Structure 1
């Protein structure tokens, strides 16, 4: 039986009785104890309680510890109560402070802290083979002070927040405004009664467990306090716990038996932090509401925190402040990832994880949900990748929210939506597709619009149900559709809308043919991720057809554009003559061209980054299939001349006010690829060109080219005006045109620029599609790849027929 810490006042009562009845004589008290409990003595010469124990107990200046069975003996002989607990209960009304809060730091309380550590110090999700230490991976929780789903906002304002200047370019759902946030720990310190709402997997339970094992973090603003963690589902299923007061007592008596009276004293003094987790996880809500209210009303001076999924309950607990858990921001995602991989002994892997995450905006969205981020980190340990099979990754995320997260914790939720998992996916898919197919794309729905969508779907399967209840249930149970503002809904992540839209297209090809889909939507940016997911979802026959359709449509859209066809002919001619005929070299020259005036006037207003990314990805594709085309002498010569042609712009960047000039400074990609910077010496660069010319004996007019370049070398401006540099650069371009058939400086009209941007976008999308984990024919993909960036008359005809 455990030793019990006796409070000061109760000790005084025992001392007074000891003095009055036995004259404070240990021998007299022991004699009476032996007479009353003679049947419990081991032998005639032994004492029930030793003289030393009696002296130490009654002579102690501080409240002592005593075995509970010995306290029972003393209370019967001294106070006429059968047990210590009965005496305490009867006398407690006259005792103001029987148990000190300092007791929680003494050895007596150690079993409870150990119990709390076992219960709350680890976390485990889904199929993980072992739990992980919570403190090792924990990242602070942030909360909305004003819950977005209850704030009245104009739909137009939300649409403006989600849309870029170009209506075809949709921003991913932005990270929440920091001004409306409060740190979770600060919320606990500020509000004695706190309700934390949140989507599935938002980290609510993790936060309460962290508080339970780290309550010392609250001590700066709150007196010492005893945390009590109670999962409400476990309480509701426990046959012997009839109210939450019993549940609180039970938490202590599991580790410190017969401690009921003491913990009730703690409750009466308001020294407990009651953590009630998972209000949404219980079936009989009315009963639980009643039990919570009983606990609060019985011991109102304690601190209380309740967690619940957003939308799962309309019940309002009086005097409670409600906040909502916020998705992780990028800083929190990075911190969690580093914590996770450091804990797993793979600290270096965290950087690889974060680099891959940075390059995938859709997966980055999912990573803002703590549950899904945990799954991403966990699965990344196996393959060190999550970019190859996005469809599988998103399907796992959806399945986790629809089914596995609750199933892994044996949670059965009350549901009015009697639909199979596949029917639920079909319902979400129809809403998602219709939204993206809307003009303009629809990412937000008024409540009445969404209810009508649900009615349409449910009526199609002859199923009667209250759509209001369905909408609330979907929000509370799955976290896939949420309220962005009062009566305004969206998918919780745009990634989910894209995933479900892809599901709709694949499963309804009789309604939405692949040919029609590609023709109508290839250039519409809101479908980009959907194209990639469809590629991963289709079987081999259909996916081959699909990627050929993308290739065909990409080339059809510029077939009648003579300026772009001329540009592609020039690219092809230049790579062929340089002995580097390949699609990746065409991509490289095109990317450099925009900075160096090889063909296109570099003063046109166009985003150069897609061209650079395409060149990089095409080279990477060739590297993986071991088909890198090494540079020839002529190819190097062209690159050297291009590097010289960048020097006027670099000189102007260094010496003149670029912002007030029309000089287009080369991109970092061009600077790195051509090995140039502001300190590059024009004469040294030209010497490299001349040396390269001398190495090439097959060049037509190579002797004259060498002479012209040497003459040009003599005229390099030295600290002259920008105009002098521009004149010199034009002379270089003239030599390039005359001797190497490059350097035309073509000006594109606005319509040509737009067509070129779309063409590069479609080529990059094609590359992304074939680069994923799919069932397409390797031979077909490589053949299509080798025909990228060719003029229409140079493309193999069978590749343009589907």
Structure 2
């Protein structure tokens, strides 16, 4: 039997003190972390004096130490006289215990399989899914995210669409259960807490994990209902009633518990009605202390832990990483397909589309298992993600706000109940928009509470008294975190939305919620002013998709794009040039696409936008465009030679001038180019002569080359943009790309606005 008290060895004391110095806590703070009212046990711990076993283990966990490495393990005292007669009794006792475990495991095997081997999907399928077919190994964070002492600047420096990697220290969840005899498993809604307990129960009954134990899976909300009926809230009473169905006597049950032969899995501590929380906490605490030899795992939502269980190690389920997402998706599509081959093909398509750059916001959501399940279901039918992402995000929001708790029969009571569903969404939208507008993704608790209070003050069913508003705000913030997991404490006193995608969606929803046309137009004008900020692009796309008519927003976006070059006369002149150049040409292509082509020649030579404006350009460039592209490349190489002549560049330039065989040149430009080529030095004259010639005559030759192109091709190559102007050109180009993405999305646009906007690309003001 394990000792009831432990003390640290001299070496262990040294290790513990070093760990204590590293984290920088006080003894009082460490005592509070393990639920102690005094620091005396902490002092004894560091002094090498015996303290209660569970407290010793908990202190080691808080210091990230293995208690077995720290504890002093004195040798057992030698027996004065060997009593061989005792050994058969011990063997007999062990043998009886093993037989009892084997008997009970055999009896309850069917019940555990029925209780834990399937999960019910409430998305698409009426039939449950076999857990064996879709379970994906999970990881846990060894340090709770909301217990970290960080500043917003620490989090902001690692800001990314997915926050799954903000906390790096993870280990496999099964390893955590193996390492810690008593474990509190925390996690967001839909993170997979219940599924993991089901998995543990199955692994145990199938002799793959703790094969010498009897698993008991207890949903705590069910436990409370039964306890109310029989007016017995003790866990021992529950086990007696449960195992009475298998004709186990109270003595046999006590034997199992005293021998540490039970794996107790308590699911959903946060789902207990508030009036029973204290009572259930006391029952679990007493039971775990009385029968401390048994393994215990409790699950609870991250913000739902009201009480500190002394002796339990606390870990947090981590978000899925990319590898886990891929494994789950492959298993899910195979499990839901008619045959494995079809499932594999669908999974491959799903994963390929998920990695597309346009699906970044969706890719962020799949780190949460419940949302990954949803997204797989949505993809299943059309083998593509929906064009209007807002519908997908609304579905995800609906799951977290309503359906997840409802599907599990959970009812919660708090000030939050005084908010109708519509008000909850408005509140969340208000929080999202206010902070997104100020480029705040991570929020101080005080800021967040004030934002909630400001909103509650506008509602008739909340008292305007500041203190009442503050208390209601605190209760509502906690309810949002526990019930929906939409707002999460990322570090002590610092919150954010669980996914940036939800903050973007709710911000867009706030923008389109106005029923007043003037207010809506003003909001759309404000939104359009953010077009040059990449962080607002998803909000713009979502807003456009939710508008019954997106014409005005598109017009405002076009207006903002055109103002990018408005203050630069040279750049406005450049736009006039490419328009005039386009008008001179007589080719059957859309003028906007041709203007985009010439614009790209002087910025990045990216032909994606011209092709997007006119797909005919993807098949074959017309001779005029191909010739000007070749001339511009040759001119660019010539400029490089003037600045830094070298043999490799000279050879490249010679090849660049050989385009007559592939392109049709008019007689005048052909003659002019041939005359210029004759003035170039003969390569046979040697390297030194070539380099000297370009240093001496290069400028003059390049000027003549440019003049010939301008005269015979009406193609001015003398645009010398400085770095600021080049940056503006790049910004103008990429924002036109984004505007075209908006136009080509499945938004509610009139044909005339769509056509007019495209036709005026690259015309400027």
The TM-score range, normalised by the shorter chain, is: 0.7 to 0.9
Partner of residue 317, structure 2: 325
Partners of 1:135 and 1:717 in 2: CA distance: 77
**Kept after mapping to 1: 8 A contact 2:669/2:709:** no
Q: What are the superposed Cα offsets for residues 110-156 of structure 1, whole Å, 9 maximum, x if unpaired?
A: 55333322322222332331322323333222222221212222233
Question: How many equivalent pairs are there?
Answer: 643
SS of residue in 2 equivalent to 1:308: strand
Counterpart pick for 2:546 among 533, 537, 544? 537
Partners of 2:692 and 2:435 in 1: CA distance: 54
**Kept after mapping to 1: 8 A contact 2:205/2:214:** no
SS of residue in 2 equivalent to 1:274: strand
1:651 and 1:560, CA in 2 relative to 1: closer, same or farther beyond 3 A?
Answer: closer
1:710 and 1:444, CA in 2 relative to 1: closer, same or farther beyond 3 A?
Answer: same
Matches within 5 A, 1:107-122: 109-110=105-106, 112-122=108-118
**Kept after mapping to 1: 8 A contact 2:676/2:705:** no
1:642 and 1:174, CA in 2 relative to 1: closer, same or farther beyond 3 A?
Answer: farther
Partners of 2:594 and 2:386 in 1: CA distance: 25
Q: How far 1:393 moved relative to its partner?
A: 1.4
1:266 and 1:429, CA in 2 relative to 1: closer, same or farther beyond 3 A?
Answer: same
Counterpart pick for 2:482 among 470, 476, 480? 476
Partner of residue 264, structure 2: 274
**Kept after mapping to 2: 8 A contact 1:267/1:299:** yes
User: 1:193 aligned to 2:182?
Assistant: yes
Partners of 1:767 and 1:557 in 2: CA distance: 16
User: 1:245 aligned to 2:254?
Assistant: no
Partners of 1:722 and 1:135 in 2: CA distance: 72
1:632 and 1:718, CA in 2 relative to 1: closer, same or farther beyond 3 A?
Answer: farther
**Kept after mapping to 1: 8 A contact 2:632/2:717:** no
User: 1:776 aligned to 2:764?
Assistant: no
1:400 and 1:143, CA in 2 relative to 1: closer, same or farther beyond 3 A?
Answer: same
Partner of residue 155, structure 1: 152
Partners of 2:544 and 2:633 in 1: CA distance: 39
SS of residue in 2 equivalent to 1:690: coil
Matches within 5 A, 1:620-699: 620=612, 622-623=614-615, 630-641=620-631, 686-687=657-658, 689-693=659-663, 695=664
Partners of 1:324 and 1:229 in 2: CA distance: 20
Q: How far 1:227 moved relative to its partner?
A: 2.7
SS of residue in 2 equivalent to 1:135: helix
Partner of residue 442, structure 1: 440
Matches within 5 A, 1:457-496: 457-462=455-460, 463-464=462-463, 466=471, 467-496=473-502
1:708 and 1:420, CA in 2 relative to 1: closer, same or farther beyond 3 A?
Answer: same
User: 1:571 aligned to 2:578?
Assistant: yes
Partner of residue 304, structure 1: 296
Counterpart pick for 1:356 among 353, 358, 361? 353
Q: Give the gaps of 5 or more residues in structure 2.
A: 1-88
Moved more, 137-146 or 717-726: 717-726
**Kept after mapping to 2: 8 A contact 1:648/1:722:** no
1:116 and 1:210, CA in 2 relative to 1: closer, same or farther beyond 3 A?
Answer: same
Partners of 1:778 and 1:118 in 2: CA distance: 58
**Kept after mapping to 2: 8 A contact 1:99/1:262:** no
1:718 and 1:788, CA in 2 relative to 1: closer, same or farther beyond 3 A?
Answer: farther
Partners of 2:731 and 2:124 in 1: CA distance: 44
Q: What are the superposed Cα offsets for residues 478-501 of structure 1, whole Å, 9 maximum, x if unpaired?
A: 111111111111212222222121
**Kept after mapping to 2: 8 A contact 1:249/1:264:** no
**Kept after mapping to 2: 8 A contact 1:215/1:227:** yes
Q: What are the superposed Cα offsets for residues 344-379 of structure 1, whole Å, 9 maximum, x if unpaired?
A: 332233333233322222222211111111111111
User: 1:786 aligned to 2:727?
Assistant: no
Q: How far 1:109 moved relative to its partner?
A: 4.4
Q: How far 1:503 moved relative to its partner?
A: 1.6
Counterpart pick for 1:146 among 143, 149, 174? 143
Q: How far 1:643 moved relative to its partner?
A: 6.1
Q: What are the superposed Cα offsets for residues 761-802 of structure 1, whole Å, 9 maximum, x if unpaired?
A: 43233223233332212442233123222233xxxxxxxxxx
Partner of residue 433, structure 1: 433
Q: How far 1:632 moved relative to its partner?
A: 1.6
Partner of residue 328, structure 2: 336
User: Normalising by structure 2, what TM-score?
Assistant: 0.74
**Kept after mapping to 1: 8 A contact 2:590/2:613:** no
Partners of 2:499 and 2:243 in 1: CA distance: 42
1:525 and 1:718, CA in 2 relative to 1: closer, same or farther beyond 3 A?
Answer: farther
**Kept after mapping to 2: 8 A contact 1:216/1:224:** no
1:223 and 1:407, CA in 2 relative to 1: closer, same or farther beyond 3 A?
Answer: closer
SS of residue in 1 equivalent to 2:429: helix
SS of residue in 1 equivalent to 2:215: strand
1:551 and 1:304, CA in 2 relative to 1: closer, same or farther beyond 3 A?
Answer: same
Q: What are the superposed Cα offsets for residues 484-541 of structure 1, whole Å, 9 maximum, x if unpaired?
A: 111111212222222121122212365561454146433334322211111011112x
Partners of 2:718 and 2:323 in 1: CA distance: 45
Partner of residue 223, structure 2: 235
Partners of 1:722 and 1:432 in 2: CA distance: 62
SS of residue in 2 equivalent to 1:195: strand
Partner of residue 532, structure 2: 523
Partner of residue 59, structure 2: none
Q: How far 1:321 moved relative to its partner?
A: 0.8
SS of residue in 1 equivalent to 2:746: coil
Q: How far 1:742 moved relative to its partner?
A: 3.7
- When the two chains are superposed, the root-mean-square deviation of aligned CA atoms in Å is 3.9
Moved more, 222-231 or 268-277: 222-231
* Structure with greater Cα Rg: 1
1:640 and 1:193, CA in 2 relative to 1: closer, same or farther beyond 3 A?
Answer: same
User: 1:135 aligned to 2:127?
Assistant: no
Counterpart pick for 1:763 among 719, 736, 760? 736
Partner of residue 372, structure 2: 373
Q: How far 1:242 moved relative to its partner?
A: 4.9
1:681 and 1:525, CA in 2 relative to 1: closer, same or farther beyond 3 A?
Answer: closer
Q: Give the gaps of 5 or more residues in structure 1.
A: 1-91, 163-170, 597-611, 653-660, 664-676, 793-802
Q: How far 1:304 moved relative to its partner?
A: 0.8
